[in-house]
Structure 1
Amino acid sequence: MKTLKEQFDILSDGAVDLLPQEDFIRKLERSIATGTPLRAKLGLDPSRPDIHIGHAVVLNKLRQFQDLGHTVVLIIGDFTAMIGDPTGKSKTRPALTLDETRENGKTYVEQAAKILDMSRTEVVYNSQWLDSMSFREVITLSAKYTVAQLLERDDFTKRYRSGEPISVHEFLYPLSQAYDSVAVRSDVELGGTDQKFNLLVGREIMKAYGQEPQCILTMPILEGTDGVEKMSKSLDNYIALTDSAKDMFGKTMSIPDSLIARYYRYACFAGGEDVARMESELAAGTLHPRTAKVQVSGSLVDRYHGEGAGKEALDEFERVFVKKDIPDVIEETVLDGTSLDIVTILTTTSMAQSKSEARRLIQQGGVSIDGTKITDPAALIDLQAPVILRVGKLRFLRISGR
């Protein structure tokens, strides 16, 4: 077993907040002395079916807890996802059904297994306790925190001052998340920096229920591939854990130069010294940004697709973008009809999620057939012989009609 200092150095590395630090050290000391693992909690609300590498920043920190012998408790927030986390939102989020959140939750567990050792992970759904609470129990929970305390939260304050409605159920979100910590007897809860308020509420609610309060550990929020907004599927600036090696490599190569070292640190989980060296060489001009991006992209692909996958993805990238070739292997599909309009082709093959998205892709010059750019959304495509459809820089599909 590693020493107290060794464990603290590993677990605090890269963290933004570790509060209260003295309590965390005391918990580690007790864990080492008694041989009792800490219970490290992470709650994920499955509001969408995909986990991206922004989520993976915290998941990788959880894996460090596991590697040090501690217990990870992964809470799938199938119940809280019906409320919707109001963090950073300027208006009330649309509600999901319990069936929708449970279906999304199944994929979360499968994707988290790419990072966590599931044999050492407790997976629980918070509907197990929240769905069965009586109204009396909800009132009891609500009485343990004040409206004034909830309004200390910046996004609630802004909405209140601007006259934007705040539903009562949104006030219950941080209390519900906090009660999760009570239910699983969390020693430390992890989250992004945007979750700091919710995590601190957990400390207070645990105290109110007579439990030793958890410590909190926050990790940075990873920007999306646009370099501006928080990584999000809704903004289409994300890299999913389920992305193919080709797509993962290509998306990472598209990030702004300003994010290279940050992705190396938090997406690839490179060590502090390696990141500092890369930053220094980039600043000095001895390391070209493209070379650094290739290193980061390859490292990320190797992490999720296995050693050597990054080199294969680089070779494919060079073929497509440097030599302007098409990939060696292209997925094929057969459509009903030998002459179809391009919008129908894009939506039928799921290369576009809607007709409006298909038209936007065409207008932006992102669609071509056999190397010829399509500019007319009403264009008819002859499918009597197979053609190669290209959408954007990364997606290819060989299609034919019948």
Structure 2
Amino acid sequence: MDDKEKIVDDLLARSIALVLPSKDELKKALLSGEKLRIYSGYDATAPKLHLGHSTNFILLEKLRRLGHEIVVLFGNFTARIGDPSDKTAARVRLNEEEVEKNIGTWKEQVSPILNFDDSENPARIVRNADWLSKLTFEDVINLSSNFTVQQMLERDMFQARLKEEKPIYLHEFFYPLMQGYDSVHLNVDVEIGGTDQTFNMLMGRTLQRKYHNKEKFVISTTLLTNPTTGKKLMSKSEGGYIALNDNPRDMFGKTMSLPDETIIQMFVDCTFVPLSEIGEFEKAMDLGNVNPRDLKMRLAEEITRIYHGDSKAWAARDDFNAAFRDRGIPQNIPEFSCNSGTLFIDIATEAKLVSSRSEYKRLVGEGGVSFGEAKIDDFATVVGRDGVFKIGKHKFIKIVLK
């Protein structure tokens, strides 16, 4: 077995739930010497990408290094419609301005993983409004004639809505058609998406067969979930995710806050650490030969290093140790200047330590807000001296009075 085959075997054994028509056929295609066109699409429904997306971007980068053509699609048209996948109610539709604002820094967020600047084989970005906005009503009718309403209604979330007598809007049937047509327009050989996208990707497979007489490969990747509870770890729409552009301290701290039972999956899906090494981690955990906290430190360092480099990852680790393990305060925390008598709730919102005043009030109620050594338990508390203001587990600022 040569090195290239070992690389392919490794990537096919990692983070992949399903391959159609089969892993064996995909392996042959990847090793055939033909340059495959491989794409993965993302709707611009939020301004931040998160670690759940990194699973696909890591896979795309490995395939790019093997010499295949990589296309990343930013869904600036489909985002205005809304993907009904895994939704028990219709999505709120976005306008063009909202979508473009969301896309703003996406390339910069993905660039630490996926190489868009390689001189020989760079990944490239496309936007589906460039072709979907030009389709005529006749084109849409022709596309829709390839599928039946019964096929659409087979989807679990539509069945759930029918059972609960919730509305299913006609435009929701067109979303998988549009995603399917992306494959046709780009004439791709492979599409990569999460397991929640399998139905939509299969629509594209049908259309590729119809329009290009081509059997497109579909790769469904695993979603980040807690293996014990089944709860999603990362979700743009459901909150509570680690963003790709989080600052090093937040990225490290949020990773350390993940449940112990998620450590191995996070290593597999969100890092470049070899599977053989991850297997040793898992064995050590099962035998009780390692403290899960120590492995989580390694995980947090690996993830932070990918997006911010070695030195910032090490600094984030040292700050975390100072703040939590050694019960100290991180070095180089940002300063905030204000007048004496300013409400702490105003400081928290202006400094963006919380997303809203209601979040601040919730954290105060949970005992998660302090100034110096004292807990803040009153929403009307004001600052009267210099000191360190702490929100939650890993957000600090140094307040300096004017």
- Shorter chain as normaliser: what TM range? over 0.9
Instruction: Map residues 89-238 of structure 1 onto 2, 5 A cutoff.
Output: 89-119=87-117, 120-223=122-225, 228-238=231-241
Gaps of 5+ in 1: none
After superposing the two structures, state which structure 1 stretch, 62-71 or 101-110, moved more: 101-110
Partner of 2:383, secondary structure, is strand
Q: Which residue matches 2:289?
A: 286
CA contact (8 A) 1:54 1:222 kept: yes
Q: Distance in 2 between matches of 1:172 and 1:342?
A: 48
CA contact under 8 A between 1:227 and 1:259: conserved in structure 2?
A: no
Say if 1:274 and 1:29 are closer, same or farther in 2 by CA, change over 3 A: closer
Residue 222 of structure 1 deviates from its aligned partner by 1.0
Q: Cα 1:308–1:338, aligned 2, differ >3 Å: closer, same or farther?
A: closer
| Aligned twin of 2:20 | 19
- Given that 2:361 and 2:379 are in contact with CA atoms closer than 8 Å, whether structure 1 keeps it comes out as yes
Supply the distance in 2 between the matched residues of 1:64 and 1:361 (Cα, whole angstroms).
41
Counterpart-to-counterpart distance in 1, 2:61 and 2:197: 19
Q: Equivalent of 1:45, from 43, 46, 54?
A: 43
- Three-state SS of the structure 2 residue aligned to 1:16 is strand
The CA distance in 2 between the partners of 1:7 and 1:327, in whole Å, is: 40
Matches within 5 A, 1:282-361: 282-335=285-338, 337-361=339-363
1:270-314 Cα offsets, whole Å, 9 max, x none, are 222212211111111111111111121122222222234433322
Give the alignment partner of residue 57 of structure 2, picking from 36, 39, 59: 59
Give the direction of change, closer, same or farther, for the CA distance of 1:230–1:83 in structure 2 (3 Å limit).
farther
Q: Secondary structure at the match of 2:62?
A: helix
Change (3 A) 1:287 1:274: same
Aligned partner of 1:270: which letter? V
Identity %: 35
Residue 396 of structure 1 is matched in structure 2 by 396
CA contact 2:80–2:93 (8 Å) conserved in 1: yes
Q: Could you say if the C-alpha distance between residues 234 and 207 of structure 1 is closer, same or farther in structure 2, counting changes exceeding 3 Å?
A: closer
CA gap of 1:245–1:29, structure 2 versus 1, over 3 A, is: closer
Q: Which residue of 2 aligns with 1:276?
A: 279
Do the aligned partners of 1:182 and 1:211 also contact (CA within 8 Å) in 2? no
Unpaired segments of 5 or more residues in structure 2?
Answer: none
Q: Per the alignment, do residues 28 and 321 of structure 1 end up closer, same or farther by CA in structure 2, a change over 3 Å counting?
A: closer
User: Aligned in 2, Cα 1:25/1:281: closer, same or farther, shift over 3 Å?
Assistant: closer
Q: Decide whether aligned partners of structure 1 residues 298 and 230 sit closer, same or farther in structure 2, where only a CA change above 3 A counts.
A: closer
User: Within 2, Cα distance between the matches of 1:26 and 1:323?
Assistant: 53
Question: 1:262 and 2:265 equivalent?
Answer: yes
Q: Is 1:76 matched with 2:74? A: yes
Output the CA distance in 2 between the equivalents of 1:380 and 1:328: 25
How far apart, CA to CA, are the structure 2 residues paired with 1:114 and 1:177?
26
Query: C-alpha displacement at 1:128, in angstroms?
Result: 0.3
RMSD value over aligned CA atoms?
2.1
State how far apart, in whole Å, the 2-side matches of 1:233 and 1:25 are. 32
CA 1:100 to 1:305, structure 2 compared with 1: closer, same or farther past 3 Å? Answer: same
Structure-1-length-normalised TM-score: 0.92
Preserved CA contact (<8 Å) 1:227 1:255:
no
Distance 2:170 2:79 in 1: 16
Q: In the TM superposition, what is the alpha-carbon distance from 1:67 to its structure 2 partner?
A: 0.5
CA, structure 1 residues 148+348, in 2 after alignment: closer, same or farther (shift >3 Å)?
A: same
Normalization by structure 2: what TM-score?
0.92
How many angstroms does 1:212 deviate by? 0.9
Amino acid at match of 2:20: L
Runs of 4+ in 1 over 6 A off after TM superposition: 224-227
